[in-house]
Amino acid sequence: MACAPSLTDIHGRTIRYLRISVTDRCDLRCRYCMAEQMTFLPRRALLALEEIALIAERFVARGVDKIRLSGGEPLVRRDVSELIRRLGRMVGHGLDELTLTTNGTRLAEHAGALVDAGVRRVNVSLDSLDPDRFRFITRHGDVAQVIAGIRAARDAGLRVKINAVALKGLNEDELPALLRWCVDEDLDLSLIETMPLGAVDEDRTDRFVPLTAVFDRLAGQFPLVRDTHRSGGPARYWRVEGSATRLGLISPLTANFCDGCNRVRLTTEGKLYLCLGHEAHVDLKAALRDGGLAALDAAIDRGLGVKPARHDFRIEAGAAPAVERHMSVTGG
């Protein structure tokens, strides 16, 4: 089949980055991400791993050069290692980078296989180093298990970036210590503003911390210099002078980053969402099953035609989430 045209949306932005949620399930229940009692998709509704691979390969054929696997927690899906190996074979053959976002609970057992498959970098969600606080945020997680996974990944040769959501009254006082720990452990750190996705058991307004304030505090304690590094995502970077640690800020509310958006997201049930903060999507699973690659290309093109110019995230007391679906459905 001839190569289809490259991926350019109606606003002239070229899509180079595909994020894939391989499962909506997770073995943690972080308070800003999920409700304590979640209803997950039935397994019959999910894309088969073979279908995920076919869709990913088509995106690479059309110009995507970065793929991130996420969830939920991607490493809880059975046989996900087979998918990672298959996608890894495209690295250097159209795909520049295959990476993963994980909560780290299963990273120690998978780190070596990830490296063997061609993964060179992973993001690990870690919002606190304090065992009791970590357990409260995740509802039952063991921070020692996650730290062991982070160190195993680093020792296996993976570059590790810590993702931490800044949360007022929970971890904002700990963020300087977290950055110091990352410097000591030779890790990168990205801080993220909480986003209004899906109903949770708390009012997100009570936890929202603008990263402008967080950065001012960190800049008073660390020698931060602006870094021109680009990861393909929305973060703006600084480097802690005298170290290899980069600090990234992802600020969807205080510093809108939509003008340069190069991303689309594939859910575990095969829906292609064009924006994290909107419901606009196309059903790639139905297209692939009903009409093969030609129908898949046509569905992707329809999606590019409805990609919004920007998200509509707002944090206001009592306000409904921007969208009803949780982050774990769309993929982080």
How do residues 125-138 score in pLDDT, each as one tens digit?
Answer: 999 999 999 999 99
Residue 12: inside a domain, yes or no? Answer: no
Query: Is residue 85 part of an annotated ligand binding site?
Result: no
- pLDDT at residue 107 tops 80: yes
Q: Which amino acid is at 240?
A: V
Give the pLDDT confidence score for residue 39 in this predicted structure.
85
| pLDDT mean across residues, the chain | 89
| Mean pLDDT computed over 94-109 | 97
What is residue 185's predicted lDDT score, i.e. its pLDDT? Answer: 98
The answer as to whether 10 is a domain residue is: no
20-34, 83-97, 204-218, 219-233: range with highest mean pLDDT: 83-97
Distance (Å, rounded) from C-alpha 104 to C-alpha 122? 10
Structural domain includes residue 51: yes
Q: For the chain, how many structural domains are there in total?
A: 1
Q: Is residue 1 part of a domain?
A: no
Sheet holding 271-273, edge to edge: 224-227, 236-240, 246-250, 188-193, 159-166, 121-125, 97-102, 66-70, 17-21, 263-266, 271-273, 281-283
**pLDDT for residue 256 is more than 80:** no
Instruction: Convert the pLDDT of each residue in 141-192 to its tens digit.
Output: 999 999 999 999 999 999 999 999 999 889 999 999 999 999 999 999 999 9
Residue 92 above 90 pLDDT?
Answer: yes
Yes or no: say if 180 and 151 are a contact pair by the CB < 8 Å rule.
no
CATH of the domain at 34: 3.20.20.70
The residue-averaged pLDDT of 14-33 equals 92
- Domain assignment present for residue 106? The answer is yes
Residue 29: pLDDT band with limits 50, 70, 90: very high
The reply to whether 89 sits in an annotated binding site is no
Q: Please, which pLDDT band fits residue 80 given cuts at 50, 70 and 90? A: very high
Sign of the CA dihedral running 166, 171, 172, 177: negative
Is 265 annotated to bind ligand? yes
Q: Is the pLDDT of residue 49 over 60?
A: yes
Any binding-site annotation on 30?
A: yes
State yes or no: 195 annotated in a binding site.
yes
Burial class (CB in 10 A: 0-12, 13-18, 19+), 286: middle
143 belongs to an annotated ligand binding site: no
Domain presence at residue 231: yes
On whether residue 156 sits in a domain, the answer given is yes
Q: Evaluate whether residue 3 is within a structural domain.
A: no
The whole domain housing 242 covers 17-330
User: Would you say 33 is a known binding-site residue?
Assistant: yes
User: Is the separation of the CB atoms in 250 and 235 below 8 Å?
Assistant: yes
Percent of the chain with pLDDT over 90: 70
| H runs (alpha helix) in the chain | 49-61, 80-88, 107-117, 131-138, 143-156, 175-185, 211-219, 284-304, 327-330
Q: Is 68 annotated as a binding residue?
A: yes
- To the question of whether residue 3 is assigned a binding role by annotation, the answer is no
Identify the pLDDT of residue 280.
Answer: 85
Supply the pLDDT for residue 1: 44
**Residue with the larger pLDDT of the pair 221 and 329:** 221
